[in-house]
A and B are shown apart, each in its own frame.
Chain A
Amino acid sequence: MTGSAAALRAHPLRFLITAWPWRSALWLLISAALMCLGVLLAVVPVYQWARVTTNAQLVFLFEGGFGLFWFVLAGLIAHQVPRILGQPVISPHPPTPLIPNRFGQRSIRWLRVIGAQVRSWRTLLSGVLFTVFGLVGAAVLVLVGLSIMLVFWQLPYSTGNLAYWLLAVPLLALEMYLWSVLALVGSAINRSVFGGTDAEFQLAEVTSSRARLADAFTAERKRIERDLHDGAQQRIVALQLKLGLAEAKLRELGLDSADATELIRQAQSDNRQVLRELRSLVRGIYPQVLTDRGLGPAIEEIASRAPIPTFVAIKIKRRLPESIETAAYFLVLEALTNACKHSGAGRIDIRAMTVAGQLHLEIIDDGSGGAVAAADGGLAGLADRAETVGGSLSISSPLGGGTTIRAVI
């Protein structure tokens, strides 16, 4: 249990001085507003209309259409309002990646998620319930308004008036509890429509926070890669240039004694080695080709560096969301590294293709097999990578029969 309900249960008295009662009031206010505004919008035009037209069917049609629109709208809002009470929003759809890519796929994804919600009957039903619950919300708000007026009219405010305080403070406290509990009741009804037990809600929360963490790690890797590229790498290249210029100048001045130029050349070759190491370090942190060209070329790039002959077949038509590209890339990289280290294979095959909106990956070697997924081993790490982006992994590795790793994301 989280949010408002947890706060109420843990410290019933302190609850009154937290933001939760006011958040609960906001929750009720939204449902009441939906109710009142809906009635207003449904009744007023029809009333005007009915005076000038005799076509009752048209009026019914309009009412039906408006009702449907209004309840779906209310349902979409109802899906988000648990946030106000600090409750997780459960979604049957995978979490949206935090880092938008260049083509605004994040917003397109949002549109698709909302589209799926609009078509769902749960949205409609919860919209109806949320709106109807607005009657309760409206009633509570009226009650609060009336009680305040009553206190004000009957007992004119004065700091010395003990009776005023004795009446007003407990009344307000009582009403705060009343509306907070009502908001929780409404939220529970809402939740029962969207389905899901506490465990499911927690799972939804954990899943989305895991995806956020993975995105954060990717962002961090990219930042480090950029820092190295803009910093150390460029300085060393500039140094290399200066050494080259120095050597050329010595030569120009006729001072190119063998040992002087030899020293410069040695420095340059040391520099080259540093750059080579830096490059392979940077590649391990976040490969530029993955950012620029996507998964296919990035996989080809790592395959071309593998010490065991590796053959790549890729059928991916378009760029995939960044979080998936990253997870798939590191999954293939680790699988390939494992195969090269342990399998003793003579040949490795990597296949990647998108089928019906899913990315299928296969890493097959013809080595000794017998690979097992230990809890902290590399293979378990592969499964983690797949699951982070909502995928799954299977490993088949009979002794002496090679190893096949399949992932579907």
Chain B
Amino acid sequence: MPQAQNKYRIVLAEDAALIRAGIVALLSHAGHELVAEVTDAPSLLTAVESERPDLVITDVRMPPDMRDDGIRAALAIRAATSTQPVLVLSQYVAGAYAADLLSSKRGAVGYLLNESVGDVAEFLRAVDTVASGGTVIDSEVVRTLLERRKASPLARLSEREREVLELVAQGKTNAAIAASLWVSEAAVVKHIGSIMAKLDLPAGIDGHRRVLAVLRWLESEQG
């Protein structure tokens, strides 16, 4: 089991017992401390209030309403603390949910499909990224956004540039992009520069703001 370099205090909200048990096993093996496990939105709010965790991981559909209670709880938490890192695990690729989360100015948010938890190393990396203030968007969400725009200015991008853009939109750092594409970091910087120029996006920004810029651009193109 890969040991995380940082140990976090985590509050987990998930009403499905099977999935909750799995995530707990995974996180505690990685050395994180589960300070509270809750199964509905109101107790999530109380737990965050009393525990002040380093990271909140929450499901979307939960009691009491069995609707988007998890997202609403996440937004309430963000509204109250503004810096509390929140990672949302969703059953659905729903742009509306992701857009709500990303509307916050600061980073430290994540939106993943819950089956992506199966890729243990990747999931633990996402936990680390969000807890330390970064942004993580599920590749499938990004892909739906990208697929819609084949006829748009994206067509001007090369295949490699599209790959890089997809990873940028997922909130990866230049180093992480370089690692997953097996190229040098300098090459990534060059690709990003040319993508930003082709899409008329502000160059030279990094982190959460960069992700936001790309996602805004993708969404505005949607018409």
Interface, chain A (partner B; CB < 8 A): 102, 226, 229-230, 233-238, 240-245, 247-249, 251-252, 268, 271-272, 275, 279, 283, 288-289, 291-293, 297, 300-301, 304-305, 309-312
For A292, the chain B residues whose CB sits under 8 A away are 67-68, 96
Inter-chain contact B92/A237, CB cutoff 8 Å: no
Inter-chain contact B16/A234, CB cutoff 8 Å: yes
Q: Give chain A nearest CB distance to B210 CB in angstroms.
A: 23
Inter-chain contact B151/A309, CB cutoff 8 Å: yes
- A213-B47 Cα distance, complex, nearest whole Å: 43
Inter-chain contact B22/A234, CB cutoff 8 Å: no
Inter-chain contact A242/B92, CB cutoff 8 Å: no
Q: Mark B123-142, 1 if CB is under 8 A from A, else 0.
A: 10000000000000000000
Question: Which B81-110 residues have a C-beta within 8 angstroms of A?
Answer: 91-96
Inter-chain contact A293/B117, CB cutoff 8 Å: no
**Would A240 and B222 be within 8 Å (CB), given that A234-B16, A293-B96, A300-B95 are in contact?**
no
Residue B26 lies at the interface, judged by CB distance under 8 Å to chain A? yes
Residue B205 lies at the interface, judged by CB distance under 8 Å to chain A? no
For B18, the chain A residues whose CB sits under 8 A away are 234-235, 237-238
Instruction: Find the A residue at minimum CB distance from B152.
Output: A309
Chain B CB within 10 A, most for which of A237, A243, A248, A304: A237
4 closest A-B pairs by CB: A241-B22, A240-B118, A238-B18, A311-B223
Q: Give chain A nearest CB distance to B2 CB in angstroms.
A: 7
Interface size class of B (residues with CB under 8 A): 35 or more
For B38, the chain A residues whose CB sits under 8 A away are none
- A9-B23 Cα distance, complex, nearest whole Å: 70
Inter-chain contact B223/A291, CB cutoff 8 Å: no
Question: In the complex, which of the residues A238, A283, A293 contacts B22, with contact meaning CB atoms closer than 8 Å?
Answer: A238
Question: In the complex, which of the residues A233, A247, A304, A311 contacts B91, with contact meaning CB atoms closer than 8 Å?
Answer: A233
For B119, the chain A residues whose CB sits under 8 A away are 244, 268
Residue B183 lies at the interface, judged by CB distance under 8 Å to chain A? no
Question: Which B17-75 residues have a C-beta within 8 angstroms of A?
Answer: 18-19, 21-23, 25-26, 29, 61, 65-68
Inter-chain contact A237/B120, CB cutoff 8 Å: no
For B163, the chain A residues whose CB sits under 8 A away are none
Inter-chain contact B96/A289, CB cutoff 8 Å: yes
Inter-chain contact B95/A304, CB cutoff 8 Å: yes
- A268-B118 Cα distance, complex, nearest whole Å: 7
Known: A240-B118, A248-B26. 4 other contacts (CB 8 A): A237-B117, A238-B22, A240-B117, A245-B26
Inter-chain contact B96/A301, CB cutoff 8 Å: yes
- A244-B21 Cα distance, complex, nearest whole Å: 13
Inter-chain contact B144/A300, CB cutoff 8 Å: no
- A236-B1 Cα distance, complex, nearest whole Å: 22
What are 27 A-B interface contacts by the 8 Å CB criterion? A229-B91, A233-B91, A237-B91, A241-B19, A241-B26, A241-B117, A244-B119, A244-B120, A244-B123, A245-B29, A248-B1, A248-B121, A268-B119, A271-B115, A288-B61, A288-B68, A288-B92, A292-B67, A292-B68, A293-B68, A301-B96, A304-B95, A304-B145, A305-B144, A309-B148, A309-B151, A311-B223
For A241, the chain B residues whose CB sits under 8 A away are 19, 22-23, 25-26, 117-118
Instruction: Find the A residue at minimum CB distance from B145.
Output: A304
